[in-house]
Structure 1
Amino acid sequence: MRVLLGLLLALGGTPVAHADAIRPDDPGYAGQWGIVRTHVNEAWSAVRGNARVTIAIVDTGVTRLPDLAPRMLTGHDFVNDDDNPADDNGHGTMAAGVAAASGYNKTGVAGVCWYCRILPVKVLDAKGNGGYDTIAKGIRYAADQGATVISLSLGGADDSKLLRDAVTYADAKGSLVVAAAGNQGSAQPHYPAAIPSVLAVGGVDEHDRRYSWSNYGASWVNVTAPGCNAAQQPNGKIGQYCGTSSATPFVAGVAGLLASTDPRPSAAAIRKALTGGRVDALRSLAALPYAGDKTKPIVAFGATPTRARGVVTVTAAAADQHGVQRVQLYAGGKLIATDTSAPYSFRWNSAPTTANVPLDLRAYDRAGNVALVRRYVRTDNTPPAIKVYPRATSVTARATDASGIARLELVVNGKVVSRYAGYLRWFGIPKKARTVVVRAYDRAGNVRAVTVRR
């Protein structure tokens, strides 16, 4: 039995990405709507892959593009029976890029799993054809090489004992096998995707609607994923790579992120976390078992003033591989507030102190691990001191404050008639002045007013 690639390739119509948590500088990222839709960009705050995780691309081979080469293993070519699995079609290279192209390197696109290793296994020829026997060899080989995830962007209409036995072998080795549901727009099972232990992937658009070409079926399709993704072709050109062939490595990349967490989850746990509906990286991370997790969350201050007066807002960002349970703000060792959902924001009344106050953010993950970050904020709730030296037709004002003076104002008959950005100023007093007041503002916003008696 031979199998034909289900490849749909479109070079135009690139959609625009929405605002995201992490926005890589890779040229193709603007067209990667799927990364945002599936919250991969938010998951990157906590996990971006690990060198202990290997994603096997069992396909037409993989070209050693700069975005892939540093993490590519040697692999094997079962079509030509050698150790040079170069891509003479392009399909496998694009699949590898979707799953694991490096991110934030100003090159190509941002794959899902930036630090996962890539194992190229060539089982399809230059026309994208290959026999079930060759594919089965590729699956077994990938499992023997310790592949964490085996990505199969290929398939056929017929069931096969060869494929089932190869998948069973990979299962026993601890590999998660992910395969394309096919592009016939049919509910007819597609193999090896329809093998029960394989994670079968369908394709959806940016609105989570099934692409008309994607195969479907609740009884055998386990998860859906973005079916059009920006990817580099072997010549380095970026285009939209569409089909369940594209959705599959996307899921394989998310599986790689999950496999990079602590404690290391089993293939069964990863499969369970991914199964159901459209893939969601954050939801899947939260669904993993976390008993034994020793990795602390990541926490950082957001918008926080360096000087504070009265009530101020302090924001924070926090991330964890299995989810943040809560974030707390402490001021001077005293608990101010707790927030249990992002975006994390706190209201802090800095009054009445004037001092350098340590602000602490404490983030707790679901396993109870805690991370702390500290920042000192100068609180200033004390108005400036003012000395005035009045004369018949003028007044000289001098103001002092630990935070510095922002400005002086002369107020005559209830109206500001003069301003000066400094701490020392001579003001002329109008002849018809009934009341004269000097106001001083410090850089924290405190104000003191002194009536000038003549």
Structure 2
Amino acid sequence: MGKIVSVLVVLVMVILPSFKPIFEPKPLKKYHLPAGLTSADYLPSTLIVKFKNVSLGKSTLSVGSRQFNGTTAVTITSINPIYQFKGATLQTLAEQKSIDNAGLNRIYQVKYNSSLPIEKVVDELQKDASVEYVEPSFVYYTFDTPNDPDFLDGKQSYLDQVKAPEAWTIQPNANKVVIAIVDSGSDLQHADLAGNIYLNSSDPVNGIDDDGDGYIDNYMGWDFVGATASKIVADNNPDIPADSLDHGVHVSGLASAVSNNGLGIASIAENAKLMIIKVGADDNSRAIYKGYEGIIYAANHGAKIINCSWGGPGGGAYGQDVVNYVVSKGCLVVAAAGNSKTNEPIYPAAYSGAFAVANVTSDDVKASSSSFGYHVAIAAPGTGIYSTTNGNNYGYKSGTSMAAPIVSSAAALVLAKNPLLTGLQAGEILRITADDIYINKVGNELYTNQLGSGRLNVFKAVSASSSPSIRYQKITIDDGSSGALSAGDTVSYYFELKNILLATNNLEVSLSTDNPNIKIVTGLKNVGAFNALETKSVGPFKVVVNANTPENTNILFKLNYSNPLSNYNAKEFFTSTVNLDYQNITVNQLYTTISSNGRIGYSGANAHDGLGVLYKDFSMLYEGALMIGVSPTQVSNNARSANGETDEDFFKVKGVARVQDAMVAYEGISTFNDSKSVSPIGLLVNHKQIAYKNAPDDKFVVVEYEVTNTTNLPLNNVYIGLFADWDIDESSKNFLAYDEEKRLSYAYASTPLTPYAGIQVLSTNVKPLFYPLSYQLGSDPLYDGNFSTTEKYHTLSSGIKATNLGTGDGLDIMCVIGAGPYIIAPGKSVKIAFAVIVGDDLADIQKSAMAASEKYTKSLKVVESEFKMSQNYPNPAKKLSSVDLNIPDNGFTSLEVFDYLGRKVKDVLAKDLKQGVYTTSIDLSGLKTGVYFYRCTFKGQQKVHKMIVVE
């Protein structure tokens, strides 16, 4: 557990943005809004909550007040199901199974009152054991840009560009196919739209819900928002009241304007039906408030194509659940890729299973505003596009909002010709028949393979002969160790593939990359016969991460599918981040992470990039930061500061590396300094973490910092400590205590059957320090939400402030633990070591604390019966490196360095050593860049390792 990385791509994902190793169990992390989002990007006092069970009665979340620390934090005013599956919308057991699989019957809208920020409210509610996830009700935005009215002389030249006239000779219309326009609404009376508006004949306008679907008189569509988002009131009128809201009108005409009527414009689909679903407010021309509700409505009411010309960076689990559900019902979700000019993901387009559309100009070059990326499925014209507008008018608009409905219209034409296909299959036909826009296309050089498979060609799509379409559904990554995909590792990739279209024989799958940091060892597999809609697991594909690969390198991989006996050839891409600057430690019962900046559990702030502290499926640590202070104005640290920010004072000198041939189950090292501080002290820190596999040492990890004074003056009053924010089960029900005899701080919860966690100061040469904290207490340094430099030094230099914290049901607790004061002479260093400990109860962690203390008291020098020498670290090395020697008996020992020709270049050690384990430094100054060998000789035995030296 923890070494195999599974990245699930539900159903079909055209191209995946990025893969990083993920380890179960997944921790419950504090919620943070996506970068750049403000209160304008979500509905006020509204949350989307998915419960773990179908019955809400099994939940402890209910209408009324929720308290923490004795005060009312959140008052829930209503809990209502988002979707009511009634009557004609639930006709078969298969449909009910689709709903159950996606969990849509477990998703509720929760209204609340609270003065807390929405992130805190999410944190509070997601503690409920009955809740699967909580997230804001995001607001999305449409993607059109007004354009000059006389932009083009030929008002619908895009039809020729996508070969629509040729397609009509094969399939003239999309009769009876329903396209849902989930948008700002439409002009239901427009002469070029009215004849194609979908009418729900089962529910005429009579004030009665005739079809029992929960929507009264939804004869011409549905409005999920109404007049204003400040007071959402749904109704049965998706018609827009003003010209400023005509985004959906323009989209409607591109999807299916009435054609061959001697009036206005033509559309690719000609007479596909338009299901108008209004998800914006009458008083806001761009905001989309209820887009996902609209998508579900469309799927449940017969739409095969669902057009979403809107999106935003807020991409939670709720939207993915919705896409999963509608795709399982045979729908195609066509989504605008966005107008951000970047490859940053926009949702719903970036969701697995969505069909993302980029915007190209009339000469097939990426429009300057169009988003792009490896998740994009296809490109279509979207610049200067002429279509219907409000009040029986016409006009030009530009953007991926326009490109998407052109693709939706084409998909409808394909479905009309092939009515037994699913929407997803129709999308695949569009994708595999698109025209190449990369070869010899000036302007697209920087976007190769990031505008999808090419530009839409409707003629090819409706003319398509039988072809398979292979797409991966899941990728599993295994590096055989910590999951960091470190330099020098051999990494295995496994793929779950699905054939979306027709069967093929003798299928070959190959993995390749142009990145010089990767060597493909096993890159070709023959899959053989592959039936339609069959899923197969293929692998392993083995690659080697080169020794000099930079940290956090994103590798673009290509998967190629081909049948050498036919002309089938296809490709897709994914990225995998290798040689991470942190490593996950999973060799014993405590799962955690070593960073390159001194943090414990995570490399990034706000519980990002790492495992935290995991024990028996409990995630217990939110923040573990290093603080080193010499005065109230000088504290080098990476702990929280003010306004949700963190100090980031440490600069990585050497990224995390696992010590090869270490004497323990895991040993990792990194080096950093404090040069990023606005007031640097002048420190160089060697950071080490060590973990043991077997009891009684399998519930702790040793964390050591060797702090060197790089200045020319002595450093006095140096305090070194860790800031820890413990969240055990419900974070507001935690307690802290300090065992002075063992120098052990520990945290636990008032909730039953929850584990304990703690930090022990292993170093005994300086006075310990312990300062318990909680922002819920009025006298606390954290009460105002800030943690200033002065306050940090105060917590470091106050000795043992108290030995316990928390009364009643508990508090949200933090602490600073460490030791000091130290005096560090110029060029000299001090070491301080901690043990991070987990256990079932107090007795359990006390037992581990004793074991950790005993282990460290022996300086971690456990002598084995065999002569051993470790790989040098760091490697490659510059100026200085180290090697560990296990000397099983007293005797003469030598250590020498040779160049690649076997010439001795350095004597490192030549002396009688007593039995023990030694860490020996190798001075590499004067050695040129190259490959060297070092040899240790002990009583006629020799150990030789290669090392790389860089100048």
Judge same fold: TM > 0.5, yes or no: yes
Is the contact between residue 4 and residue 156 of structure 1 (CA under 8 Å) also seen in structure 2? yes
Q: CA deviation at 1:242?
A: 0.9
What is the distance in 1 between the residues matched to 2:246 and 2:167? 29
Q: Contact 1:60–1:123 (CA<8 Å) still a contact in 2?
A: yes
SS at match of 1:139: helix
Indicate conservation of the 8 Å contact 2:327/2:424, yes or no. no
AA in 1 matched with 2:221: G
Q: Does 1:128 align with 2:128?
A: no
1:83 aligned onto 2:220: no
Q: Deviations over 1:84-107 (max 9, x none)?
A: 101240000110001100112122
In the TM superposition, what is the alpha-carbon distance from 1:51 to its structure 2 partner? 3.0
**Following TM superposition, by how much is the alpha carbon of 1:286 offset from its aligned partner in structure 2, in angstroms?**
2.8
8 A Cα contact 1:108 1:236, kept in partner: no
Q: For residues 110 and 71 of structure 1, what CA distance do their matches in structure 2 show? A: 12
Alignment of 1:56 with 2:202, yes or no, is: no
> For residue 147 of structure 2, what is the amino acid of its counterpart?
A
1:226 is the counterpart of 2:381? yes
Secondary structure of the residue aligned to 2:359 is strand
Q: Give the partner amino acid of 1:224.
A: A
Give how far 1:45 is off. Answer: 1.4
For 2:178, give the aligned amino acid: T
The code of the aligned residue for 1:222 comes to A
Alpha-carbon distance, 1:263 to partner: 5.0
Distance 1:215 1:251 in 2: 16
State the match for 2:152 in structure 1: 15
Q: SS state of the match for residue 310, structure 2? A: coil
User: Larger deviation: 197-206 or 71-80?
Assistant: 71-80
Residues 263, 290 of structure 1: 8 Å contact kept: no
Of 35-44 and 122-131, the range deviating more from structure 2: 122-131
Contact 2:185 2:249 in 1 (8 A): yes
- TM-superposed CA distance for 1:129, in Å, is 4.5
Is 1:113 aligned with 2:269? yes
Query: SS at the partner of 2:169?
Result: coil
Q: Distance in 2 between the 1:198 and 1:82 partners? A: 28
Q: Which amino acid aligns with 1:36?
A: D
Deviation at 1:159, TM superposition (A): 1.1
1:353-381 deviations in Å (ceiling 9; x for gaps): xxxxxxxxxxxxxxxxxxxxxxxxxxxxx
For residues 294-313 of structure 1, give each alpha carbon's deviation from its aligned partner in whole angstroms, at most 9, with x where no partner exists.
xxxxxxxxxxxxxxxxxxxx
1:322-342 Cα deviation digits (max 9, x unpaired)? xxxxxxxxxxxxxxxxxxxxx
C-alpha distance in 2 between matches for 1:50 and 1:112: 8
Residue matched to 1:162:
318
Aligned counterpart, 1:365: none
Shift of 1:111: 1.5
CA distance in 2, matches of 1:234, 1:13: 19
> How many residue pairs align between the two structures?
276
How many angstroms apart in 2 are the aligned matches of 1:233 and 1:289? 39
2:252–2:388 contact (8 Å) kept in structure 1: no
Deviation at 1:272, TM superposition (A): 1.0
Displacement, 1:14?
3.4
Q: Amino acid of the residue matched to residue 75 of structure 1?
A: G
Per-residue deviation at 1:258? 0.5
Kindly provide the amino acid, as one letter, of the partner of residue 322 in structure 2: A
Instruction: Give the direction of change, closer, same or farther, for the CA distance of 1:288–1:137 in structure 2 (3 Å limit).
Output: farther
- In the alignment, which residue of structure 2 is the partner of 1:346? none
TM-fit CA distance, 1:162 = 1.6
C-alpha distance in structure 2 between counterparts of 1:279 and 1:144, whole Å: 28
Q: Check the 8 A contact 2:141/2:288 in 1, yes or no.
A: no
CA distance in 2, matches of 1:288, 1:178: 23
Partner of 1:278: 455
- What TM-score results when the alignment is normalised by the length of structure 1? 0.58
- Report 1 or 2 for greater relative contact order, CA contacts < 8 Å, sequence distance ≥ 6: 1
CA distance, structure 1, for counterparts of residue 174 and residue 393 of structure 2 = 27
Q: State the distance in 2 between where 1:284 and 1:131 align.
A: 32
1:171-220: CA deviation from partner (whole Å, max 9, x where unpaired): 11111100000111111011000112111001001100000000011x11
For structure 2, which runs of at least 5 residues remain unmatched after alignment? Answer: 1-137, 199-219, 227-233, 432-452, 469-951
Q: Compared with structure 1, are the counterparts of its residues 240 and 115 closer, same or farther at alpha carbon in structure 2 (3 Å cutoff)?
A: same
Using the TM superposition, give the Cα deviation of residue 273 of structure 1 relative to its aligned residue in structure 2, in angstroms. Answer: 1.1
User: Does 2:207 align with 1:70?
Assistant: no
Label 1:67 to 1:290 Cα distance change in 2 as closer, same or farther (>3 A).
Answer: farther
Residue number among 156, 161, 165 corresponding to 1:41 in the alignment:
165
Report the aligned-residue RMSD.
1.8
Q: How much does 1:165 deviate?
A: 1.1
In 1, Cα distance between equivalents of 2:141 and 2:252: 18
Matches within 5 A, 1:190-205: 190-205=346-361
Residue identity matched to 1:184:
S
Identify the residue that residue 3 of structure 1 maps to in structure 2: 140
Identity %: 31
